[in-house]
A and B are shown apart, each in its own frame.
Chain A
Amino acid sequence: ETGVTQTPRHLVMGMTNKKSLKCEQHLGHNAMYWYKQSAKKPLELMFVYSLEERVENNSVPSRFSPECPNSSHLFLHLHTLQPEDSALYLCASSQDPRASSSYNEQFFGPGTRLTVL
């Protein structure tokens, strides 16, 4: 699969587990994003990494920990989650407008459907 890929596609975990979500983009972009999608908040921005630096953290609980080792990979480390964290987690990538003259069209991955028991 080309573009933006995410693994795993489905994840069921207990509240005491530790797991990680992975995102990889093959588009040569230099900005990556994590979104949470649920019935209450359809597209809620969680984190933004631009040029491998975290530039935005929208008051996300510390039980979510992002990691961006390079411009192609983005992780979301999960620990001691709550049932209300069950949602679809979407990764996206774009060009950082600071690095180009193009607007930041975002390309989304297929998402990870997370269920916290």
Chain B
Amino acid sequence: GENVEQHPSTLSVQEGDSAVIKCTYSDSASNYFPWYKQELGKRPQLIIDIRSNVGEKKDQRIAVTLNKTAKHFSLHITETQPEDSAVYFCAASKGSGNTPLVFGKGTRLSVIA
């Protein structure tokens, strides 16, 4: 089955700097890669996702890149703000049949003002 590795487990950046979180997956058939943000005491919420037919997607300060050959994808947050502090989870899925999302173990991002 699918296995998703996520690094780093913790990340501290100064406000205004960029943050990068990386994930690798094992199943070459996976074709859907979402990123979830979980603020302290709240539920995980989808912030951005990418399908395997594109290599990059951007939404304001957040971008995700996908390298299908190397089977890895990354989340990039630019101009970080204190409200970006949260745990971020990557996930992978085949997006078809009844295979659910497989999540990474999460990255705790702290943005220091």
Which residues in A have some Cβ–Cβ distance to B below 8 Å? 31, 33, 41-43, 45, 48, 50, 55-56, 90, 96-98, 103-111
Docked complex Cα distance between A70 and B40 (Å): 31
B112 within 8 A of A: no
* Contact present for B49 and A42 (CB under 8 Å): no
Point out the residues of chain A lying under 8 angstroms from B45, CB to CB: 108
In the complex, identify which listed stretch (B16-24, B57-65, B72-80, B100-108) lies at the interface while the others stay far away: B100-108
Point out the residues of chain B lying under 8 angstroms from A106, CB to CB: 34, 46, 101
Nearest A residue to B103, CB-CB:
A43
Given known contacts A43-B89, A43-B106, A97-B95, A103 and B51 CB-to-CB distance under 8 angstroms: yes
Given known contacts A103-B32, A103-B51, A103-B95, A42 and B100 CB-to-CB distance under 8 angstroms: no
